Amino acid sequence: MIDKGFKPDKHSFAGLLSALCVAKRIDTAVTVYCGLVEKADAHIHTVITNGLIQAGQYHKAAVYFRSVVDKEYPLDSVAYAVGIPAHLRGGRTLEANTLFDKMKDNGLEPNVQTFIMILSSLFKVKDRQTVKQLLKEMINSRIKLSDRNFFNLCNRNFFKDQCCWNLLAEMKDLGLLSTKVLHALSYDRHVESGKANYKHDNEVDIECNLFLDSSCSEDMSDVAVSVC
């Protein structure tokens, strides 16, 4: 392409980065990215981060994304929606939560998947106060509580806290609970029984629920491709 005198645009570079990551030519992909990172826009950062995640290079994805954040390069909500799971998959839960806060501080609105991932990660670090704050934010943004995170709440005994019960009641009134959750609650006000009724024990401790799931990996790829 270059030999023919054509100047590659951002779409060309995005395609090249994606292809190199798929081909497991990670070092070459990183070299190309580093050569254009200072002039790259948000979708290029999204593509390389997503490509590295799909290649199983979670540590590299987190490192390069964090570098972009620290240098205050342009990022949008889609870039954060891919960069945050890079940290979660790499076991960097606290850093992921920091990125989530920074995203909101920059005036960017987290999407549904980002809310669900962060809520799931908070159970791992046992941050009860932040869980309640996030539930309030989900109510304000009208974000539905996923079934898995509901059972995470049950498993961690969060509903022994009256505040959590009040937040759950508000989510119920706003239609932010699934039929399955409502059915579980109808059996017993003590939410722990719902976990037994639906045998979700194997799901309760899954981290980053959506993005560890194969269908969600495909969703993330679709998000990245859609901005190329």
CA distance 159 to 84: 27
- Check residue 185 and give left, alpha or beta (phi > 0: left; psi -120 to 50: alpha): alpha
The residue count for the chain: 228
Q: Can you give the pLDDT at residue 26?
A: 97
Which of 157, 79, 81, 151 minimizes the C-alpha distance to 118? Answer: 81
Which of 212, 208, 213 minimizes the C-alpha distance to 122? Answer: 208
* Overall CATH class of domain 1-110: mainly alpha
Q: Can you give the pLDDT at residue 82?
A: 95
Q: Can you give the pLDDT at residue 2?
A: 79
CA distance 228 to 133: 35
- Give me 18's structure tokens: 């994606």
Q: Can you give the pLDDT at residue 195?
A: 44
Asked whether the beta carbons of 18 and 220 are under 8 A apart, the reply is: no
- In the chain, where does the domain assigned CATH 1.25.40.10 lie? 1-110
- Give me 42's structure tokens: 């948000």
DSSP3 helix / strand / coil % (the chain, rounded to 5):
75, 0, 25
Which residues 6+ apart lie within 8 Å of 134 measured at CB? 115, 118, 119, 122
Q: Can you give the pLDDT at residue 187?
A: 59
Q: Can you give the pLDDT at residue 183?
A: 85
CA distance 201 to 153: 12
Low-confidence ranges of the chain (pLDDT < 50): 191-228
Q: Which residues of 61-73 are buried (b: 16+ CB within 10 A; e: fewer)?
A: bbebbbebbeeeb
